[in-house]
Amino acid sequence: MSFPRRPRIFTRSQILLIAFLAFAFAVPTFAHAQTETTLFNFGPAAPANPYNGLTLDAAGNLYGVAYYSQAVYQLHRSNGAWQANVLYTFTKGKDGGYPSSPPVIGSDGSLYGVAAGGGTHGQGVVYKLTRGSGSTWKETVLYSFTGGRDGAAPGNNLVFDNAGKLYGTTASGGDSNPNSVCQIDYQGCGTVFELSPEGTQWKFRLLSVFTGKFDAFGPAFLAFDKASNLYVSSSGPPSGFEGQSGPGVIFKLVPHTSGLWTQSLVYYFGSGSDGGDPGNIVFDKSGNIYGAAFNDGIPNCQTGIGAEGCGEIFKLSRQTNGKYSLSVLYAFTGYSDGAFPEGIILSRGKIYGDAQQGGSGLQASGDGVLFQLSPNPDGTFSESTLHTFDGNDGKWPDGFPVVDPAGNLYGITTYGGTNSGGVVWEYTP
């Protein structure tokens, strides 16, 4: 059985549409044994089957969402063990439904997130959770999508800028061209939006409307660079064959004092060997971009009709002319090294990530792995498998890891564990 990719909505996030129509430097630590530990087993009661990764706060608490359980949850240590508290359960009404990305933490301590369904128009919402008395949390809808030009089915990550504005993406809606393949199949190719706080209200603004051409299809993850430029990864336009999509792109949106944003292409994944369906991206101190491509890479890694690669880790090096050149740091074979990388982080000069499948002696089979890429003196990277999931300790990692100040990694699997409802894991390098 093949599990559709999370992390994003389209290719990796078509599960959301089907359901209702993804260098950080840590403080050095003393040497110790490398271990993977299951911190918490989800299910059978809600929350179960966590989705799209975790958020870590300054106190060491973890936050996430359970898509089908309609829940936003918090994990915290209590008496030496980890416990889960459901902070809010969506009704799938005007408050939203199907939370699709871990919440981000605002400067006010509130949680901000997106739900792919529900809302006034049934097309998804941006929400805020504010701590009340005791352990209660109050939900406020900041924006309800109409499914028109503003978009529909928001998902993946929200990001704040330095001014406290929120930025996010929708998987569909936007382009109303009746001849567009996105309009025919998905009611639009998606949008990038901004929400600005104005008193007690939030003002919505479109930054980009996808057409399925240069900007591709289904915007995925967002990331700001040091110059406050907003980078967007995206799947390619749908091919019409067995749900496959094109290779995808990375582009950036540059703000101007006039308030307008200009859009330019950073990289188009077109050769197959350079990867496809890019996920989250991260920057090093020099402005180079690192990321995971969910598929393509080594040809015919998957078997069967429409075979494609098992994904790869790439680096986009910034050139003196402002353009980028891509180098493949590692291409997954689909065996013990894993298949279909979900996302990466940079920590202490190394690349860490998880792959949704692989870890088995059979190609593109297995319950997923944690991996590490270490730099070599000649500029290449060596890959090592840190942990192989076996179902009992989790199955199918989802999202990308988060790292605490001590350099420990945390993440989730959507399935597996004691209750088959997924797990939260910790890896100590």
> Which tens digits make up the pLDDT trace of 291-312?
999 888 877 777 655 557 899 9
pTM of the model: 0.88
The reply to whether 279 falls in a domain is yes
Residue 177 amino acid letter: N
Residue 88 lies in a domain: yes
107 belongs to a structural domain: yes
**Structural domain for 98, as ranges:** 14-428
Cα distance between residue 15 and residue 224, in whole Å:
27
Domain for residue 7, yes or no? no
Does 379 map to a domain? yes
Q: In the prediction, which pLDDT does 165 show?
A: 96
- Could you give the number of structural domains in the chain? 1
Say which DSSP state 19 is in.
H
Distance CA 296, CA 380 (A): 20
According to DSSP, residue 416 is labeled -
Residue 377, phi-psi category: left (phi > 0), alpha (psi -120 to 50), beta (remainder)? alpha
Give φ, ψ of 121 to 5 degrees.
Answer: -110, 5
Q: Which segments in the chain show pLDDT lower than 50?
A: 1-32, 239-244
Q: How many CB atoms lie within 10 A of CB 36?
A: 16
Contact 122, 133 (CB under 8 A): no
Model pLDDT, residue 246: 58
- CA 197/CA 183 separation, integer angstroms: 31
Question: Is 192 within a domain?
Answer: yes
Is 86 among the domain residues?
yes
Which pLDDT belongs to residue 237? 54
pLDDT of residue 214: 59
Residue 8, domain member (yes or no): no
List the CATH number of the domain containing 245.
2.120.10.30
Closest among 220, 223, 287 to 247, alpha carbons compared: 220
Can you give the pLDDT at residue 32? Answer: 43
Q: Rounded to the nearest 10 degrees, how much is the dihedral formed by the CA atoms of 160, 155, 216, 5?
A: 130
267 phi, psi to nearest 5 deg: -160, 140
